Amino acid sequence: MTEGEITEVQYLQGLIQHLRTAGVTVVPYSLEPGGGEPSRVLAKARKLAAKDDYEAVWVVVDVDEHASLNDVVRECAKGSETVVVSNPQFEVWLIWHLSSSGAPQTAASLKKELRRHGFTGTCKHLPTDFPFSNVDQAVAMATHRTRATSLNTRGPNPSSSMPHLVEALRGR
């Protein structure tokens, strides 16, 4: 379940397709936007999970200025869901597919950087040629010693715990 309704959904759908072409089998999944605030995303994920039998429930959120983020992180750390947090936004994870920038970011600097790499308009839609094949570069950037983050934690700026979800999708 993703916080964002466009970018994260497009990215995860593209990544899953990319991993399949690399010989990876991905079990059926449900990928839906959760609607902003992390507590609403978690609640929606729990409601959806209660209806169906899921092997795992992952919640993908940004740090942004969300008041409920720390509560969601704590709930997921002791519960059955897993939260993946990107700081300050999911777009930092996208940037790491495109460059090796490790400097702290803001929403404005991320948008500017994405535009330099072919994103247009509000930078919500991934370009058709987004380099999903650079996922290992993004993993390397995210796991660098000053940016490494565990699941169910809020890391420093910039950081993302997306490598854990990538590993799970790869079946490792």
Average pLDDT of the residues of the chain: 86
* For residue 40, pLDDT beyond 80: yes
Q: Which residues pair with 87 in a beta bridge?
A: 159
* For residue 25, pLDDT beyond 50: no
**Residue 69 belongs to some domain of the structure:** yes
Average pLDDT over residues 9-36: 67
* pLDDT, greater one: 148 or 64: 64
**Residue 1 belongs to some domain of the structure:** no
**Residue 127 belongs to some domain of the structure:** yes
Q: Tokens 């919500």 map to which residue?
A: 124
Domain range spanning residue 82? 7-169
| Cβ neighbours for 11, distance < 8 A, ≥ 6 positions apart | 90, 93, 94, 126, 130
